[in-house]
Amino acid sequence: MFQTKKTYVSAEMRMSELIFENPSFLVMMEHFNLDMATQDKSVEQICQENLLNNEVFIAIANLYNGFNPEGIDRFEPDDVKAIIAFLKNSHQFYLNEKIPEIHDIVDHLFIIETNKRTEIALIEKFFSEYTREVEEHLQYEDNIAFPYFMELLSPKRDCKKTRKKFSVKEYQEHHTDIETKLNDLKKLLVKHISLKDNRSLKRKLLINLFELEYDLNIHSVIEELMLIPLITKIERSISHG
């Protein structure tokens, strides 16, 4: 959040300067399991030190700056591992940090906003149902889709058995935009629910919702425009191999 300008990320840029322009890169770095003390290192240096494909890192970094991935044909099957690791770390961020933070704010509002308990209960019900949907979606990815994708990369795989169990087409059909429903909740808060005595809590709630939606949207685009095309290419190479 709080992005000051859009910069198209390239390999020679200093990571520290990109973070100052867009603090959301801190979350991105965490999803990549990277040290946030970047010194004066370039994007390329950070990728080399951490054995990351420049193209993958830059594609995701540019998503955080509002640009869709380019040159995905240059991604290799081994890049699937880094992309899945990134997505699994983002799952932990949603489930263990961002969603609990939002629930805590809503619970606190319910306790102190005695005159608005009906509205707060509506928010709580909506977000609890949404949380269950997110948890189901992420569990599906962690327990079914991602293990299948990783199995495709194994040299010991049994191609026929692997393809019978699952396929990227099934994943694509199951895939949902779990971030879009948050917009309804944001509209409800911005347009209709007044919390005059707790404006700061309402602001914190909205900022957390915006941050969750922002990262979930990037998560979805990574899957749609990076992961699914890569897995499709791997499946085709297996079927023709």
Q: What is the per-residue pLDDT across 158-176, written as a single tens digit (0 to 9) for each?
A: 555 555 567 788 887 776 6
CA–CA gap between residue 133 and residue 178 (Å, rounded): 8
Is residue 23 scored above 60 in pLDDT? yes
pTM over 0.75: yes
- What DSSP letter does each residue of 178-211 carry, written as one string? TTTTHHHHHHHHHHT---GGGHHHHHHHHHHHHH
Q: What is the DSSP letter of 95?
A: I
Q: What is the 3-state secondary structure (H, E, C) of 113-156?
A: CHHHHHHHHHHHHHHHHHHHHHHHHHHHHHHHHHHHHHHHCCCC
- The residue ranking higher by pLDDT, 186 or 178, is 186
pLDDT, average across residues 88-96: 97
